């Protein structure tokens, strides 16, 4: 494990006094895992972020769609005037930005304007609430995100003007694991491997993936909240670096229907708050301790019900096709990539990998849902799942994740576990936000597919 190189305040003040830092990016993760906030001058950061009550922002940043259209949600709407909230810097996340030499960045928590109560629907708050539940059981978790993305050798503005159609991808043929392609791409990928650690996001490895222009970068594991922060910072950084290199990057789950999707495999392990030791490993049931077995069982039991937290967009479900290594088959395998859940490692490195999420996932939501489902398994004393041998995609009796947002929404709406774990306010916010995304597609969009199919023929 690596610790993020936080910038302490004394060093920050030295750099600011020397003119080496002139801007502080104060940002919070939004419902889509994007950073939103303001860029502050040094005096403003001191007066608002350090000495004041925080940076004012409209609550609508947690109640908009991807087009930045305000949604009519309880947290922010016309009736309450899209009321302001406070973004309060978490100074443990203060760091320099390697590709912006005079900038520092700090992740903020969202608070109500007139109290010290955290905003319940803010992604960081949602995750913290599940971590507090886990702490009552004397346990904590470590996560790692394993992200895939596509790179096109087309500048971002040109790609936008082309409607993201017929882009020149970074590779010309399938090159999964191929070191020749890795060397060709390394003029850019090495910037990620080298600069991300300087940004407080340690990298384990990189490799070309199966898709044309597709890459996989594995992040070092760490404590849950820090890993969610690193995940968001990684995507932010890759987009910045790609833009500077005249490359277009996408973390869409399925950029093209005839191309493999981009995943975000989630690795999670359970640890004791008291001893700091792993609670996962036992030599008995395929390596699973009794408690970890129940935690894994909870994830399998609720996988379909909380798939919305792993697959948040219309596009997410285009990835769920058999034989393409997406986690469609809800089964537990021992190093079996046809299963949605895969046991990996031994001893202290023993963990479970969730293969359902795509690269478009919000890590705070996904981690929170993982913990909530696992805790339900522990509280109900569910037995460890059986290990599936063979091809789970064709396995008899193996259920699958929902393959459309409609069904995923219906299952989430009916999930008593999710409502209880998240609480009514957060649960209704998550549900309403997803419903608005579905409505935008169902009622306000005519697709290319519809035009080709119906324009002349009906």
- Structure confidence by residue, pLDDT tens digits, 105-117: 999 999 999 999 9
In a domain, 315, yes or no: yes
Spatial separation of the C-alpha atoms in residues 14 and 8, rounded to whole Å: 10
Tell me, yes or no, whether 187 and 292 share the same domain.
yes
Tokens of residue 84, six digits: 């302001």
Q: Are 304 and 207 in the same domain? A: yes
> Does 401 lie in the same domain as 272?
yes
Residue 5 has pLDDT above 90, yes or no: no
Residue-number span of the structural domain to which 98 is assigned: 9-117
CATH code of the domain covering residue 61: 3.10.20.70
**Residue 2 confidence (pLDDT):** 44
Among 60, 57, 55, 56, CA closest to 74: 60
Please state the rounded mean pLDDT for residues 369-385: 97
106 with 139, same domain: the answer is: no
pLDDT digits (tens, 9 = 90+) for 21-62: 999 999 999 999 999 999 999 999 999 999 999 999 999 999
My answer on whether 158 and 187 are in the same domain is yes
Q: Quick check: 298 pLDDT over 60?
A: yes
Identify which of 170, 154, 152, 264 has the alpha carbon closest to the alpha carbon of residue 217.
264
Q: How many domains does the chain have?
A: 2
Say if residue 67 is in the same domain as residue 165. Answer: no
Q: Please give the Cα distance from 306 to 285 (Å, whole number).
A: 26
Same domain as 172, residue 70: no
- Across the range 405-413, mean pLDDT stands at 97
Q: Is the pLDDT of residue 217 over 50?
A: yes
**Domain end point (choices 68, 94, 117):** 117
- Residue 322 has what pLDDT? 77
Tokens at 144, concatenated = 């790692």
Cα–Cα distance measured from residue 420 to residue 298, given in angstroms and rounded to the nearest whole number: 14
In which band, very low, low, confident or very high, does the pLDDT at 1 lie, cut at 50, 70 and 90?
very low
Residues 107 and 145 in one domain: no
| 1 domain-assigned | no
Q: Is 316 found in the same domain as 394?
A: yes
- H/E run at residue 250: strand 248-250
Q: Are 314 and 405 in contact (CB under 8 A)?
A: yes
Contact call for residues 262 and 359 (beta carbons, < 8 A): yes
Whole-angstrom distance, CA of residue 124 vs CA of residue 121:
8
pLDDT at 421 over 80: yes
Nearest Cα to 152, choosing from 245, 236, 254, 67?
A: 245
* pLDDT tens-place string over residues 303-356: 999 999 999 999 999 999 877 788 899 999 999 999 999 999 988 899 999 999
Task: Verify that 71 and 149 share a domain, yes or no.
Answer: no
Q: What is the CATH number of the domain that holds 336?
A: 3.30.590.10
């Amino acid at each position: 494990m690596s610790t993020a190189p936080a910038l302490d305040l004394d060093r920050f003040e030295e750099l600011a006094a020397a003119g080496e830092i002139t801007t502080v990016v104060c940002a919070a993760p939004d419902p889509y895992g994007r950073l939103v906030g303001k860029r502050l001058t040094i005096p403003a950061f001191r007066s608002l972020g350090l000495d004041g009550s925080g940076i004012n922002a409209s609550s609508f940043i947690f109640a908009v769609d991807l087009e930045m259209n305000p949604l009519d949600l309880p947290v922010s709407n016309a009736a309450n005037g899209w009321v302001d909230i406070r973004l309060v810097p978490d100074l443990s996340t203060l760091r320099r930005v390697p590709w912006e030499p005079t900038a520092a960045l700090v992740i903020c928590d969202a608070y109500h304007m007139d109290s010290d109560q955290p905003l319940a629907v803010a992604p960081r708050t949602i995750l913290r609430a599940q971590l507090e539940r886990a702490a009552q059981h004397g346990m904590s978790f470590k996560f790692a995100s394993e992200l895939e993305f596509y790179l096109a050798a087309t500048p971002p503005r040109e790609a936008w003007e082309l409607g993201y159609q017929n882009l020149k991808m970074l590779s010309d043929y399938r090159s999964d694991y191929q070191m020749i392609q890795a060397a060709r791409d390394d003029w850019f990928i090495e910037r990620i491997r080298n600069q991300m650690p300087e940004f407080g996001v340690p990298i384990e490895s990189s490799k070309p993936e199966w898709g044309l222009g597709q890459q996989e970068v594995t992040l070092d594991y760490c404590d849950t909240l820090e890993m969610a922060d690193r995940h968001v910072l990684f995507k932010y950084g890759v987009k910045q670096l790609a833009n500077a290199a005249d490359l277009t990057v996408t973390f869409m789950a399925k950029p093209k229907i005839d191309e493999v999707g981009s995943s975000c495999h989630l690795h999670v392990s359970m640890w004791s708050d008291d001893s700091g030791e792993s609670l996962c490993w036992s030599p008995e049931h395929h390596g699973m301790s009794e408690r970890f077995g129940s935690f894994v069982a909870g994830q399998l039991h609720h996988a379909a019900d909380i798939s919305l937290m792993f697959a948040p967009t219309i596009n997410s479900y285009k990835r769920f096709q058999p034989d393409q290594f997406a986690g469609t088959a809800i089964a537990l395998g021992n190093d079996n990539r046809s299963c949605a859940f895969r046991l990996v490692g031994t001893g202290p490195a023993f963990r479970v990998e969730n293969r359902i999420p795509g690269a478009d996932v919000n890590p705070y939501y996904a981690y929170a849902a993982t913990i909530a489902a696992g805790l339900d398994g522990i509280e109900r004393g569910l037995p460890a799942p059986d290990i599936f041998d063979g091809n789970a995609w064709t396995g008899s009796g193996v259920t699958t994740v929902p393959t459309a947002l409609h069904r995923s929404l219906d299952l989430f709406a009916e999930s008593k576990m999710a409502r209880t774990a998240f609480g009514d306010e957060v649960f209704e916010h998550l549900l309403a936000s997803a419903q608005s995304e579905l409505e935008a597609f169902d009622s306000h969009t005519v697709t290319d597919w519809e035009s080709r199919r119906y324009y002349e023929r009906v």
